[in-house]
């Protein structure tokens, strides 16, 4: 039986950088989830009888919301839903399912690297038929609808068994429960030289992969240990938990500190890696070297031809604006297109669909390719393994040689989390007001060359996205970028991205904070970070 339920709108359902992310108690308000999902369906055309993929990263509230999504999909006329067993699908695996099975779209439940649990974070995201996050045109429509919604539709169906693989019916709709790992693992086998990686493990190569008690655990166990023959124990913290074991499933130098310390200590494994809550981010640490996501993108692009799936010339490389320009130098050498997009994986979708880019990446620990339309944590790890297996050199040697050839883009991001929203806005507004007067100003030894707000003109569909980050560019090519995060759930997070290009190999491999000290001081002098936020130091430095 289909019920139409009267409701009143919420005014805070604006999707951010990657879907709607809020604290769990916000989602637990009566009708909150239903309103948002109905607003998604109301913003789409032509889905009757079609298939919807549904899955999430297994965090607290995952099962309940999956049940609601299935019942609402049935009531709204979808012909079928494909759901990961136990309600689990990593974000890249969900993207693959949407593409492989020709789904109309998908609903992905995740708050990514944010913590999980009854008082932590949850999220809902809609992905379109290409497997990628909905573009702004759709997320804007969802938000507009969420402010006007008066009713939603939901089917009263009996209990759903999400733990048994197979197809059942929910009213007129088929519910197919699939193994979350099988299709993804099969896709990885088509892209990488599993033989070569297997031989490397057989030869004694040691790796530590921290799944951070998040969704990648079962994927890593199956692919690294079962299929590639890495010793048992290579995948750690591989049992997904609703609260990620009480940790932030954020693969960075703060939350994956143990792995970092191990990789820097004597007797470290050859290679260390980690992934986040929903499996789309990656952390790469070679023995004795942390590889920044921006450098990782550049190294992967320069060496991708060593993997079977990327033997043909890359079509182009894309990166988000705050990501360092390291990959630009690779694109220039390969004589292929280089695209600079706003932050948010959704902006890569058009470039990938149009065949203009093959590999994309972001400073926020995301790398991926045209194999799906999400960033893909394990994919990045496997491409690294493939490169290591073919080149038979250490990650440190590979990165050091890369710098020697292309120069090093020193890079760091300073995050000021949970800043009062008014204060963060005031900082950005003040900065905007100084665009005209900043050029020519000297700060220490640095001279400002230009200051502006990044706007993106999508070369495929002509859409324009404004206000995508404030840039201060210095003479000589260094820069500082200021941006407010679109994924936080408390107050505002100010992100300060700092970058300096160093061509001289004698100056490579220094501590980035020391190498960037002058720019870090300039960032505060220009934006008044301390003055506005009252903070002496960033919350997180990556
Ligand atoms: C999301 C987006 C990424 C973005 C990141 C950080 O990642 O998919 O494209 O770079 O957020 O965004 P912000 O700087 O606005 O917080 P994830 O892994 O959180 O889904």
Task: Answer yes or no: is the C-beta of 127 below 6 A from any ligand 1 atom.
Answer: no
Residue 229 Cβ inside 6 Å of ligand 1? The answer reads no
- Ligand 1 pocket: which of 113, 344, 379 to mutate (most atoms within 8 A of CB): 344
Torsion of CA 214, 219, 222, 225, to 10 degrees: -70
Identify the CA nearest to 373 among candidates 150, 177, 125: 125
Beta strands (DSSP E) in 421-463 are 442-443, 446-453, 456-457
Pocket test for ligand 1, best of 487, 489, 539 (most atoms within 8 A of CB): 487
Q: For the CA atoms of the chain, what is the radius of gyration?
A: 23
Pocket of ligand 1 contains residue 345 by CB under 6 Å:
yes
Q: Quick one: tokens of 210?
A: 């921290």
Taking alpha carbons only, the member of 440, 449, 491, 501 closest to residue 471 is 449
Q: Which of 17, 113, 131 to mutate to test the pocket of ligand 1 (most atoms within 8 A of CB)?
A: 17
Question: Residue 29's pLDDT is what?
Answer: 98
Q: For residue 426, what are its two tokens?
A: 């005031």
Q: Which residues contact 271 (CB under 8 A, 6 or more apart)?
A: 205, 206, 207, 208, 285, 286, 287, 384, 385, 388, 395
Give phi and psi for 214, each to the nearest 5: -120, -170
**Residue 59: closest CA among 83, 36, 88:** 88
In this prediction the pTM is: 0.95
**pLDDT at position 168, please?**
95
CB atoms inside a 10 Å sphere around CB 312 = 9
* Annotated catalytic residue 112: yes
Assess contact for 2 and 154: CB atoms under 8 A. Answer: yes
pLDDT score, position 489 = 78
Question: Of 443, 419, 411, 430, whose CA–CA distance to 538 is shortest?
Answer: 419
> Whose alpha carbon is nearest atom 2 of ligand 1?
344
Over its length of 542 residues, how does the chain's per-residue pLDDT go in tens digits?
899 999 999 999 999 988 999 999 999 999 999 999 999 999 999 999 999 999 999 999 999 999 999 999 999 999 999 999 999 999 999 999 999 999 999 999 999 999 999 999 999 999 999 999 999 999 999 999 999 999 999 999 988 999 999 999 988 999 999 999 999 999 999 999 999 999 999 999 999 999 999 999 999 999 999 999 999 999 999 999 999 999 999 999 889 999 999 999 999 999 999 999 999 999 999 999 999 999 999 999 999 999 999 999 999 999 999 999 999 999 999 999 999 999 999 999 999 999 999 999 999 999 999 999 999 999 999 999 999 999 999 999 999 999 999 999 999 999 999 999 999 999 999 999 999 999 999 998 899 999 999 999 999 999 999 999 999 999 988 999 999 998 877 889 999 999 999 999 999 999 999 999 999 999 999 999 999 999 999 999 98
Catalogue all structural domains in the chain, each as residue range(s) with its CATH number.
Answer: 2-180 (3.40.120.10), 184-406 (3.40.120.10), 409-541 (3.30.310.50)
Q: Which residues contact 116 (CB under 8 A, 6 or more apart)?
A: 57, 59, 60, 122, 242, 243, 244, 249, 277
- In the prediction, which pLDDT does 333 show? 97
Separation between Cα atoms, residue 345 and residue 136, nearest integer Å: 11
Instruction: Yes or no: say if 363 and 485 are a contact pair by the CB < 8 Å rule.
Output: no
274 C-alpha to ligand 1 centroid (Å):
17
Q: Are strands 51-56 and 80-88 parallel, antiparallel or unpaired?
A: parallel
In this structure, the residue with its CA closest to atom 13 of ligand 1 is 485
- The pLDDT, as a whole number, for residue 502 is 95
Strands (E) in 179-281, as ranges, are 207-210, 235-236, 271-275
**pLDDT value at residue 17:** 84
User: What pLDDT score was predicted for residue 478?
Assistant: 95
Q: How far is the CA of 444 from the centre of ligand 1 (A)?
A: 33
């Amino acid at each position: 039986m289909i019920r139409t339920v009267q409701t009143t709108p919420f005014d805070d359902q604006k999707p951010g950088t990657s879907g709607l992310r809020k604290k769990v108690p916000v989602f637990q308000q009566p009708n909150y989830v239903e309103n948002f999902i109905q607003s998604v369906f109301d913003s789409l055309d032509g889905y009757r009888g079609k298939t919807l993929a549904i899955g999430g990263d297994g965090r607290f509230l995952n099962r309940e919301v999956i049940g609601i999504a299935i019942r609402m999909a049935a009531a709204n006329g979808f012909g079928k839903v494909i759901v990961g067993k136990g309600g689990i699908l990593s974000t890249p695996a969900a993207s693959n399912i949407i593409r492989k099975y020709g789904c109309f779209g998908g609903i992905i439940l995740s708050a990514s690297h944010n913590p999980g649990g009854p008082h932590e974070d949850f999220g809902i995201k809609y992905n379109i038929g290409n497997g990628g996050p909905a573009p702004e045109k759709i997320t804007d429509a969802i938000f507009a609808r969420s402010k006007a919604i008066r009713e939603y539709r939901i089917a009263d169906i009996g209990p759903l068994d999400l733990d048994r693989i197979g197809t059942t019916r929910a009213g007129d709709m088929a519910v197919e429960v699939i193994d979350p790992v099988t299709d993804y693992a099969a896709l990885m086998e088509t892209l990488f030289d599993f033989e070569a990686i297997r031989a490397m493990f057989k030869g004694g190569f040691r790796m530590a992969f921290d799944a951070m008690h998040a969704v990648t655990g079962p994927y890593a166990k199956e692919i690294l240990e079962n299929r590639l023959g890495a010793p048992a124990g290579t995948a750690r913290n591989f049992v997904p938990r609703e609260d990620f074991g009480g940790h932030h499933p954020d693969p960075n130098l703060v939350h994956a500190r143990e792995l970092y310390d191990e990789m820097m200590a004597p007797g470290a494994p050859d290679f260390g890696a980690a992934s986040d809550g929903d499996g789309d981010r990656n952390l790469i640490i070679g023995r004795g070297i942390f590889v920044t996501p921006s450098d990782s993108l550049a190294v992967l692009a320069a060496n991708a031809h060593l993997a079977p799936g990327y033997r043909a010339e890359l079509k182009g490389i894309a990166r988000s604006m705050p990501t360092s320009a390291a990959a630009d130098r690779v694109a220039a050498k390969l004589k292929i297109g280089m695209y600079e997009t706003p932050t948010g994986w959704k902006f890569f979708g058009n470039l990938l669909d149009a065949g203009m880019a093959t590999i994309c990446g972001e400073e926020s620990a995301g790398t991926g390719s045209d194999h799906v339309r999400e960033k893909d944590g394990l994919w990045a790890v496997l491409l690294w393994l493939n490169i290591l297996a073919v080149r038979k050199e250490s990650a440190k040697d590979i990165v050091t040689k890369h710098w020697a050839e292309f120069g090093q883009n020193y890079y760091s991001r300073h995050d000021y989390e949970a800043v009062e929203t008014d204060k963060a806005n005031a900082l950005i507004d003040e900065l905007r007001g100084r665009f005209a007067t900043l050029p020519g100003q000297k700060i220490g030894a640095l001279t400002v060359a230009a200051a502006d707000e990044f706007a993106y003109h999508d070369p495929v569909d002509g859409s324009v996205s404004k206000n995508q980050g404030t840039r201060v560019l210095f003479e000589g090519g260094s820069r500082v970028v200021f941006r407010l995060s679109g994924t936080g759930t408390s107050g505002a997070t100010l992100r300060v991205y700092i970058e300096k290009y160093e061509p001289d190999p004698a100056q490579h491999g220094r501590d980035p904070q020391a190498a960037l000290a002058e720019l870090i001081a300039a960032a505060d002098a220009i934006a008044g970070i301390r003055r506005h936020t009252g903070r002496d130091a960033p919350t997180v430095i990556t």
